[in-house]
Structure 1
Amino acid sequence: MRAIMVMFDSLNRHMLPNYGCDWTHAPNFKRLAEKTVTFDNCYVGSMPCMPARRDLQTGRYNFLHRSWGPIEPFDDCMPERLKNNQVYTHLVTDHQHYWEDGGATYHTRYSSVEFVRGQEGDPWKGEVKDPDMAETEIPRLKAPVFQKMARQDTINRKYIEAEENFPQAMTFNLGLEFMEKNKEEDKWFLQIETFDPHEPFFSCQHYKDLYPHPYNGKHFDWPPYYFVQESEDVVQHGKYQYAALLSMCDHYLGRVLDLMDQHDMWKDTMLIVNTDHGYLLGEHGWWSKSVMPLYQEIAYIPFFAWDPRLGIKGERRSALVQNVDVAPTLLEFFGVPLPEGMSGKPLKDTILTDAKIRDAALFGFHGSSVNITDGRYVYMRGPVSPDNGPLFEYTLMPTTMRSFFALQQLQNIELQEPFAFTNGCQTMKIRAGSGRVSPFQYGSKLFDLASDPQQIQEVEDSDTELRLIHRMAELMSENDAPLEQYERLGIPRDGILSVSQLTEQKQEVEQAIEIPVLQERSWTRGAQLQMWTLLNTIPKEMRDQTLESFKQYVTGLALMNIEEEAILGFINVMLPSERREMALYFIRLAGRTS
């Protein structure tokens, strides 16, 4: 028996013909549906890229205990568990995050790995001289971290001209080479994983030609992680750029299907096609996936599976499944025992009969809202305090995306007693870094997907909210969530609240937003949120001084009504120029409440 997983990054369900899109060119995804089972109710677990991959490899949620980070020494990891049970595992990928500080222990769990360079801001080709970026808006923010990535991406593209030089093309060609070379062998797992269609939406011209449209603006294929400020023609152009890259993904998926057809691999080879998460292309007034509520466009994802033991194809399944189910599905397929710590479930019976494996699913970012869905409702539970605390990271590998934890985080660590999934290991308990934008600003949100699948209108339904809070607490307990997560969310450990307690709590949350200075003056909600965001980005010992400085600033201007412009003006006066742009990026975000 063999298995292949074709994994895309940021693959949008709502842009695929399999899920109702009628304008994108994706014939091989249509073909995929004829050869596999299509899952209609699949959700993310942990967000974004590497947290999702830890879910995929360990079969349990990452986001309740830590943020972006590597596989831990205590993790029971699917590719390594396969490898240790005589199943050869091979990863071929152009996903550069595997080779950064926060992802450097994932790819080493496989028997072998091939890496293709050049995606996004991958520090690949070295050029000392700055490239010409006069015509680009990738991205337009002046913060150094964004400009560094944009500079590197501009350089990388100079070395990617013909289609065969695109990282995605090279990745699939290497995957096809492995399939061809090992088609007569048994007991192997191949993961073909491309960074596409993740931004930037860089593709060949003939894929762009599939979507002719008038556009005379600047180059734009890399939306910022921000709310939409662009004109409608720019937004539409961005969608077409994404669609072109999606069509490129479709082409290379077709080559995998072709080879499986050619060698009759369907008789003994499992196929999974999946993604880590979706992506917002202007919906809800947002770009991307990281700084807004986890709307359906992000959290509700495509998933396809073929199990040669069952022979079921061209059918659909409605059972609620998640990324945490991938690892147990592959382990069960190869007859490898599942470790006790996995909360995900094998999908064999669901593929066979649409068997239900869960009644509700959690998903989210570490330190953001904790979200739950039962398939009909989505409830986003936000923190009850503007400072989003208490919040800790639990790890033996203190790295984040591209760096170690900050030194000040590591100077007062504690040891945490083992969690159920740490195989008897204590972990470091490290205070989380101050969040740039607190999820407090969005509050808690309830949506009824049956009547409002686009999540346009929030629902006021105390009975449903209380039911989902109770189930959320149960699932958090089942996943051994840290105790402070209940406190941060204002949820009792047993999840039981009355209607009056819920009402009182909502009133207290509204009062908590008040700023402890200038209370005799009128504040807009956006200004309050922006001030809390500013306070959350500075050391606590500086908060009183900052508030006093702001009081003097407002008094000097004789402002009786404090609006967002006052906070932005104060930032311009308060911060040195090298810190100002990044601060303004997050402060402006803080005014958003949906």
Structure 2
Amino acid sequence: MAGAALLGAAGCDLAERVPGLPGTTPPNREGTNVVLVIIDSLRKDHIGVYGGERAVRTPNLDSLAKDSLIFTRAHPESMPTINARRAIHTGTRTWPFTDWDPPMGEDIILQGWQPIPREQTTLAEVMRANGYGTFFVTDNMHQFKSAYNMHRGFDAFDFIRGQTTDNYMPNWTYPPEKVDQALMKGNVPAMTGQMKQYFSNVAARQTEEDWFAPQVFSRASEMLEAVSGTGSPFFLTVDSYDPHEPWDPPEEYLKMYDDEPYDLKEPFSVIYGPSDYLTDRELERMRARYSAEITMTDRWLGRLMDKMEELNLFENTLLLLLSDHGIGLGEHGYTGKPAYILWPEMTDVPFFIRHPDGKGAGQTSDYIASTHDVASTVLGYLGIDAPEQMTGQDLSVMPDDDPDDDRSHFTSGYHDHVWTTDDRYVMFCRHDGTDAKLYDVEADPEMYEDLAAQQPDVVKRMFDGYVLRDAGGPLPVYDPLPEPTV
């Protein structure tokens, strides 16, 4: 196929390394393929099928949703990027970060941000042990480092280079006018370097096919073409970094959301923190750029779905689609993804499961689905026993049956903050219970009225009864570390 796909390392014997790994018992649904789509930083409220005033043009996501079971209360097990993917690939909770050991030389210092532990088995390894061809396409630069083990278990994987700060091209080849245009008031020096690297990486783009989401979904379509005729079932993971910033879509997409004259700085990227560095017009432009990036990504997801239809794969393929987290665009006075803005724009993500037999198509579930449920769901559907470490729920039994865990509440974590919810409230705070915010999401679903001062008993009940109980005791405390710049 176009672009040499790198072969996964054979490594040592898997059964010897991980005792209790399921054997090669034939799946109950023999010949069923699996496609897993991960879309970074995709907010639930921007997808048409979820409704709401912030929904943008997502015809392909909406079409997929009509054929899928739709989870209306999906939240990441932990955040951000690497934490969420550790949970997706291993089916194992990353929070409460008790095993955190910051990798040497890493520029992102966040609790839980580290490679997949060697003793944990990945979903791809289990699938390969059960006779599946395993394939991976992504442009998510944080997964490129081989030490992170995100590629473990895949027979072939393709990493598309050039996103954001990837040292892909010499960073002195950038167009100066683009970098100057991108530097908003208050940008830290690190942002200058990021923009120089990014615009150097993309300087050779000519057509829309050269943008990142088009490359990812086009390469995934090529993989489908190559593997669908082999006669063996396959597991394909497609992981798109878009619509993560920088928001730099082709101009025609931006005009869908902002066709008014604009002569200010271009918010290609974002400062993590208070949004007061932006004028109202700049914030409007930033939101338009994010929306445009989603619509472009949706279009090329549609190309992948077209390829699946062309190859008659929908009839024998389980398809899951979800995101790792969202991003703040000034709704509560903050932009980006700092750990302390755990409002719906950060924590509410899409999650679809499309069964090949159409079960649950177009139905919704308010069960709290999460990133670490992916592995258990895939293996459960195929009738493959999951390793004991995979503690997520098998969501494939829905809507006919309920998962084993009723999830009357759920707890998540991001660096030194925790977030927890039940049927009525959402509470988030620092890891020691301070700086708590409490919201009645029945009355205030977008979480603007903080009730923590009026209802300290509810805050205490949720912290002691949910957070500490789920964590198995007090959360780990690490020496203060510098706030990440990206």
**Any residues of structure 2 matched to 1:367-378 within 5 Å, and which?**
368-378=416-426
Q: Which residue of 1 aligns with 2:41?
A: 10
**Any residues of structure 2 matched to 1:52-131 within 5 Å, and which?**
52-65=84-97, 66=100, 67-100=112-145, 104-128=148-172, 131=175
Question: 1:235, 1:228 → 2: CA distance?
Answer: 8
Computing the radius of gyration from Cα coordinates, the structure with the larger value is: 1
Q: Which residue of 1 aligns with 2:73?
A: 41
Query: Which deviates more from structure 2 when the two are superposed, residues 51-60 or residues 460-469?
Result: 460-469
Residue 283 of structure 2 corresponds to residue 232 of structure 1: no
How much has 1:252 moved relative to structure 2?
Answer: 1.1
Q: Which residue of 1 aligns with 2:470?
A: 475
**3-state secondary structure, aligned to 2:60:** helix
Given that residues 8 and 274 in structure 1 are in contact (C-alpha distance below 8 angstroms), is that contact kept between their aligned partners in structure 2? yes
With the length of structure 1 as denominator, give the TM-score of the two structures.
0.68
Residues 1:26 and 1:128: Cα distance change in structure 2 (over 3 Å) = closer
> Alignment identity in percent?
26
**AA aligned opposite 2:158:** E
Q: Which residue of 1 aligns with 2:411?
A: 362
- Cα deviation digits, residues 488-519 of structure 1 (max 9, x gap): 69xxxxxxxxxxxxxxxxxxxxxxxxxxxxxx
Question: 1:36, 1:484 → 2: CA distance?
Answer: 39
Q: Which residue of 1 aligns with 2:248?
A: 202
Question: 2:174, 2:201 → 1: CA distance?
Answer: 12
How much has 1:130 moved relative to structure 2?
Answer: 6.4
Question: 2:399, 2:40 → 1: CA distance?
Answer: 24
How much has 1:376 moved relative to structure 2?
Answer: 2.5
- Cα deviation digits, residues 9-59 of structure 1 (max 9, x gap): 000111111111455221112211211111111011111000110011121
Residue 481 of structure 2 corresponds to residue 450 of structure 1: no
Question: 1:296, 1:110 → 2: CA distance?
Answer: 34
**3-state secondary structure, aligned to 2:96:** coil
**Any residues of structure 2 matched to 1:225-264 within 5 Å, and which?**
225-229=272-276, 230-264=278-312
Residues 1:321 and 1:148: Cα distance change in structure 2 (over 3 Å) = same
Q: Which residue of 1 aligns with 2:233?
A: 187
How much has 1:131 moved relative to structure 2?
Answer: 4.5
How much has 1:129 moved relative to structure 2?
Answer: 5.9
Question: 1:104, 1:207 → 2: CA distance?
Answer: 34
Q: Which residue of 2 aligns with 1:216?
A: 263
Residues 1:464 and 1:119: Cα distance change in structure 2 (over 3 Å) = same
Residue 351 of structure 2 corresponds to residue 303 of structure 1: yes
How much has 1:270 moved relative to structure 2?
Answer: 0.5
How much has 1:136 moved relative to structure 2?
Answer: 2.1
**AA aligned opposite 1:208:** L
Aligned counterpart in structure 2 of residue 315 of structure 1, from 334, 343, 363? 363
- Cα deviation digits, residues 105-158 of structure 1 (max 9, x gap): 111331210111111121111254664156323465564433321210121121
Aligned counterpart in structure 1 of residue 324 of structure 2, from 273, 276, 284? 276
How much has 1:307 moved relative to structure 2?
Answer: 1.8
Q: Could you tell me which runs of 5 or more consecutive residues in structure 2 were left unpaired when the two chains were aligned.
A: 1-31, 101-111
Q: Which residue of 1 aligns with 2:12?
A: none
Aligned counterpart in structure 1 of residue 83 of structure 2, from 27, 51, 56? 51
**AA aligned opposite 1:236:** E
Residue 464 of structure 2 corresponds to residue 464 of structure 1: no
- Cα deviation digits, residues 258-291 of structure 1 (max 9, x gap): 2232333222100111111111111111111124
How much has 1:339 moved relative to structure 2?
Answer: 1.5
Question: 2:174, 2:60 → 1: CA distance?
Answer: 40
Question: 2:183, 2:115 → 1: CA distance?
Answer: 28
Q: Which residue of 2 aligns with 1:178?
A: 223
Residue 312 of structure 2 corresponds to residue 267 of structure 1: no
Given that residues 269 and 308 in structure 1 are in contact (C-alpha distance below 8 angstroms), is that contact kept between their aligned partners in structure 2? yes
Give aligned pairs, total.
Answer: 433
How much has 1:354 moved relative to structure 2?
Answer: 5.7
Q: Which residue of 2 aligns with 1:290?
A: 338
Question: 2:400, 2:167 → 1: CA distance?
Answer: 45
With the length of structure 2 as denominator, give the TM-score of the two structures.
0.83
How much has 1:226 moved relative to structure 2?
Answer: 2.2
Q: Which residue of 1 aligns with 2:181?
A: 136
**3-state secondary structure, aligned to 2:320:** strand
Question: 2:158, 2:345 → 1: CA distance?
Answer: 31
Question: 2:153, 2:306 → 1: CA distance?
Answer: 29
Question: 1:537, 1:257 → 2: CA distance?
Answer: 43
Given that residues 68 and 358 in structure 2 are in contact (C-alpha distance below 8 angstroms), is that contact kept between their aligned partners in structure 1? no
How much has 1:173 moved relative to structure 2?
Answer: 0.8
How much has 1:378 moved relative to structure 2?
Answer: 1.0
Given that residues 294 and 364 in structure 1 are in contact (C-alpha distance below 8 angstroms), is that contact kept between their aligned partners in structure 2? no
Q: Which residue of 2 aligns with 1:415?
A: none
